[in-house]
Structure 1
Amino acid sequence: EGRFMGPLHGVPVALKDIYDAAGLVTTAGAGPWAHRRATVDAVSVARLRGAGAVILGKVTTTAFAFRDPTETGNPWNPAHTPGGSSSGSGAAVGSRMVPLALGTQTVGSVLRPAAYCGVVGFKPTHGRISAVGVVPLAWSLDHVGVLCRAVEDAALALAIMAGHDAADPHSVPMPLDDYVGSVASPAAPRLGVLRPLVERAEPDNRAQIDSTLKALRAAGAQVEDAPLAASFEGLPEAGDTVMRAEAAAFHRDLYARHAAEYPVHLGERVKDGQAVRAVDYLAAQTHRRAFRADMASVASRFDALVSPTAPGTAPKGLAFTGDASFCAPWSSAGMPSISLPTGLAPSGLPFAIQLTGAPWSEARLFAAAAWCERAIGFKEAPHA
């Protein structure tokens, strides 16, 4: 009809199969007993459609966005994992099937697939985008996120999807910034390197990060070490406690009816979560909030904090979707993070770095990431 539909007019978008899209079946990557046909769009999907996006279809997810893997391979080498749980989202963008895909991150399920598949992965501050219409894993930790080809695409996606939703109890009515404008002419950023995390990476990845930081410094960035808060100690256990308890709460009725059919890893997680004591759950939530406050103070002094996205490149085989421990702190803290590809290993698989900002500072983070993206200049795509 010749009508302009919005900034995503005609852009094909893929949905991780835990997002509801009216008329499509949501499988959550699980058995037929878990399938249902959606009658309305998830809020994030509705906002994308309202901006002109064309929902191309669903892509694979690990079962209920946990650890039980898919059969999806990595576009750079199908014998290696694309990561998870947003496996299909990473593979679809990495293989250039679509320019944008929705994923979710509870621990590392957006940024890690992005890193393994050589694309940009972004999650905002927890509560910035409504999660209504998205199958949850753990409400306190679940983030709506995007996988895309460039930082400017992530900024545009956030500009479209962000905003308070009274129907989501975790949505926060915070002011929105000019995310698209933030990437137009970014200045050289001040970067705080979380050296204790960098030192935990595999040697070849650590060398790549150091080489990347050297190049960023030479291009004009201010690069210095930043402290990792003492409250990091015990944070992985706190996040795991919250996830187990909340997953058990969500799956309680479905698991009671279909325990024998449940995916192995998720079934074990639900059983473990049923045993979490209220006092331990509350202590874990308190620990998360303390770490967030501590690292928000650190992050506010920088345009972005730098750490690995993953220990190394994508592991071989499809039975394991990779180590999420480098993404987990920022999911637990609910702080905005973005993963940028930085180059290829001798194996031909992508390397990446992770940039993290203070809560609600997505525009500042996008500016830093866009500047770094241009300085790094990675534009490789998998060979057909």
Structure 2
Amino acid sequence: MGSTAVALRHAMAAGTMTAEAAARAALDRIAEREPLIHAWQHVDTEGAIAAARALDARGRPGLLGGVPIGVKDLIATGDMPTRYGSPIYEGFRPAADAACVALARAAGALVIGKTVTTEFAYFSPGPTANPRNPAHTPGGSSSGSAAAVADGMVPIAFGTQTAGSLIRPASFCGVFALKPTFGLLSLEGIKPFSPSLDTLGWLARSADDLELMRCAMNGTAFAPLPLTAPTALRIGVCRTHEWPAVDAGGAAAFEQALKLAAAAGVTLRDVALPAAWAGLLESQKTVMAYEAASQLDTEWRQHPEQLSAALSALLQAGRDCSDETYAQALAQATIARRLLPELMRDVDALLVPAAPGEAPAGLAATGDPVFNRIWTLLGPPCVAVPSLLGPQGLPIGMQLIGHPQREYELLAVAGSLHRVWAAA
């Protein structure tokens, strides 16, 4: 279902592919599958072809030269509408690209269009279906980005995460996703929801593609991730305080992932979270609600009838939350964040569930971010790794938690473990 970004770069370097051909292949796939998947809020066919021809004329410079990408419709694009998943912003056109879009274009990326997001990246879903089974949710809020990548429409797409909006849809759709260390990348031009939690990331079909985009965002040279031998990996197994939320299929997949890793020679160490961390889940909810009430105050006051019931309830909860309760939630997160380095001192990464199990049936909800919330609150880098299939034949990914600001090492671990699980 489509080439990876790294493979496209190689083909263009070898002269067997042009940026225009890559753009047309992406657009053809979208035309074929979009009536079923509904991954896109806006597709800029003419703009993408014109940009591709211009890149071909210039020799396709940049790390992403000629690579088609999608942009979550929470992220500003100066040449396309940006709706934020809400009818309030129907037809809205920002004055300029978000910082991440500007960097991607500067690196030669072809922005094919805007992918569907849930309402302001909260829980009320759009029309997007899971490409693995369109009767199931793709997850959210980066639903369109996850579906577009999983279905081979584009090799990479931007998303964001405030609770579990990158890792969960990646797990449900069977693709990779990177949520970098909190605060590492600019959020300029991205509609804020909870500034203490909002994080830019991206989804792809390989760990190398995640690294390619990371290098493009950082302005650094790209090299394929190292092939780390499983016997050199030290992984902390952390079922978390939220383990009771896992379903039978999710639990079986997690145990099978551990079995396969151990058989390959990976060193596995059980890591238990401190008892005090049991309250972090509620702390994340408190911070998110309190800050969302502030960030969406204008929408709340001027367009209350155009907000979903679920979002209205969250904003009311945030307005009802006291300053003291909010400060206590932030303080608890700060204390836990200081303990994280010691907790991970002897491991390369923590292995935790990415989601309770397979993507739930139906499109009325996006699934539970229960296994993502505390890690978004604490801010370390997280990667979703395609792993196994559940009892209904749908993907169940694993989540790796890395050391802050060590995304390269984490992605190398992710690529190595994926080879172990994909070989099963």
TM-score (norm 1): 0.91
Which residue pairs with 1:370 in the alignment? 415
Deviation at 1:119, TM superposition (A): 0.3
Which residue pairs with 1:166 in the alignment? none
Query: Which digits, 9 at most, give the CA deviation of each residue in 1:103-130, with x for residues without a partner?
Result: 1000000010000001001101001111
d(CA) in 2 for partners of 1:203, 1:213? 16
Deviation at 1:297, TM superposition (A): 2.0
Aligned pair partner of 2:189 in 126, 129, 133: 133
Aligned pair partner of 1:149 in 197, 201, 205: 205
Which residue pairs with 1:170 in the alignment? none
Moved more, 87-96 or 252-261: 252-261
Structure 1 SS opposite 2:157: strand
The residue identity in structure 1 corresponding to 2:209 is D
Which residue pairs with 2:248 in the alignment? 203
Answer yes or no: is the 8 Å Cα contact 2:60–2:66 preserved in 1.
no
Aligned pair partner of 2:70 in 14, 20, 27: 14
Would the alpha carbon gap of residues 274 and 200 (structure 1) be closer, same or farther in structure 2, given more than 3 Å must change? closer
d(CA) in 2 for partners of 1:338, 1:19? 21
Answer yes or no: is the 8 Å Cα contact 1:69–1:320 preserved in 2.
yes
The residue identity in structure 2 corresponding to 1:245 is Y
d(CA) in 2 for partners of 1:233, 1:376? 30
d(CA) in 2 for partners of 1:202, 1:78? 21
Deviation at 1:301, TM superposition (A): 2.2
Would the alpha carbon gap of residues 150 and 378 (structure 1) be closer, same or farther in structure 2, given more than 3 Å must change? farther
d(CA) in 1 for partners of 2:197, 2:363? 25
Answer yes or no: is the 8 Å Cα contact 1:128–1:162 preserved in 2.
no
Deviation at 1:34, TM superposition (A): 5.8
Answer yes or no: is the 8 Å Cα contact 1:182–1:366 preserved in 2.
no
Answer yes or no: is the 8 Å Cα contact 1:300–1:358 preserved in 2.
no
Which residue pairs with 1:184 in the alignment? 226
Aligned pair partner of 1:329 in 363, 366, 374: 374
Matching of residue 359 in structure 1 with residue 415 in structure 2: no
Would the alpha carbon gap of residues 346 and 236 (structure 1) be closer, same or farther in structure 2, given more than 3 Å must change? closer
The residue identity in structure 1 corresponding to 2:319 is Q
Deviation at 1:200, TM superposition (A): 4.4
CA RMSD in angstroms, aligned pairs only: 1.8
Answer yes or no: is the 8 Å Cα contact 1:130–1:162 preserved in 2.
no
Query: Which digits, 9 at most, give the CA deviation of each residue in 1:298-335, with x for residues without a partner?
Result: 12321110111000000001111001010111101011
Query: Which digits, 9 at most, give the CA deviation of each residue in 1:182-221, with x for residues without a partner?
Result: 7223243100001345564212221221111121122221
Which residue pairs with 1:226 in the alignment? 271
The residue identity in structure 2 corresponding to 1:354 is Q
Aligned pair partner of 1:320 in 365, 368, 373: 365
State percent identity of aligned pairs: 39
Would the alpha carbon gap of residues 131 and 300 (structure 1) be closer, same or farther in structure 2, given more than 3 Å must change? farther
Would the alpha carbon gap of residues 79 and 195 (structure 1) be closer, same or farther in structure 2, given more than 3 Å must change? same
Aligned pair partner of 1:112 in 162, 168, 177: 168
d(CA) in 2 for partners of 1:34, 1:229? 46
Which residue pairs with 1:31 in the alignment? 87
TM-score (norm 2): 0.83
Paired residues for 1:277-292 under 5 Å: 277-292=322-337
The residue identity in structure 2 corresponding to 1:161 is M
Paired residues for 1:237-276 under 5 Å: 237-276=282-321
The structure having more radius of gyration, on CA atoms, is 2
Which residue pairs with 1:79 in the alignment? 135
Answer yes or no: is the 8 Å Cα contact 2:82–2:89 preserved in 1.
no
Moved more, 210-219 or 86-95: 210-219
Deviation at 1:32, TM superposition (A): 4.1
Deviation at 1:378, TM superposition (A): 6.4
Structure 1 SS opposite 2:268: strand
Which residue pairs with 1:382 in the alignment? none
Paired residues for 1:49-60 under 5 Å: 49-60=105-116
More helix by share: 2
Would the alpha carbon gap of residues 193 and 200 (structure 1) be closer, same or farther in structure 2, given more than 3 Å must change? farther
Answer yes or no: is the 8 Å Cα contact 2:116–2:143 preserved in 1.
yes
Would the alpha carbon gap of residues 159 and 53 (structure 1) be closer, same or farther in structure 2, given more than 3 Å must change? same
Query: Which digits, 9 at most, give the CA deviation of each residue in 1:254-288, with x for residues without a partner?
Result: 21111122122111111221122111111111111
d(CA) in 1 for partners of 2:356, 2:341? 24
d(CA) in 1 for partners of 2:379, 2:218? 15
Paired residues for 1:166-181 under 5 Å: 180-181=222-223
d(CA) in 2 for partners of 1:227, 1:113? 26
Which residue pairs with 1:100 in the alignment? 156
d(CA) in 2 for partners of 1:24, 1:264? 28
Structure 1 SS opposite 2:320: coil
Answer yes or no: is the 8 Å Cα contact 1:209–1:353 preserved in 2.
yes
Query: Which digits, 9 at most, give the CA deviation of each residue in 1:31-75, with x for residues without a partner?
Result: 044652022111111111111100000010100000111111110
Structure 1 SS opposite 2:361: coil
Would the alpha carbon gap of residues 160 and 85 (structure 1) be closer, same or farther in structure 2, given more than 3 Å must change? same
Unaligned regions of 5+ residues in structure 1, if any? 164-175, 380-384
Aligned pair partner of 2:119 in 39, 43, 63: 63
Structure 2 SS opposite 1:101: strand
Matched length:
365
Moved more, 191-200 or 123-132: 191-200
Deviation at 1:345, TM superposition (A): 2.2
d(CA) in 2 for partners of 1:333, 1:138? 14
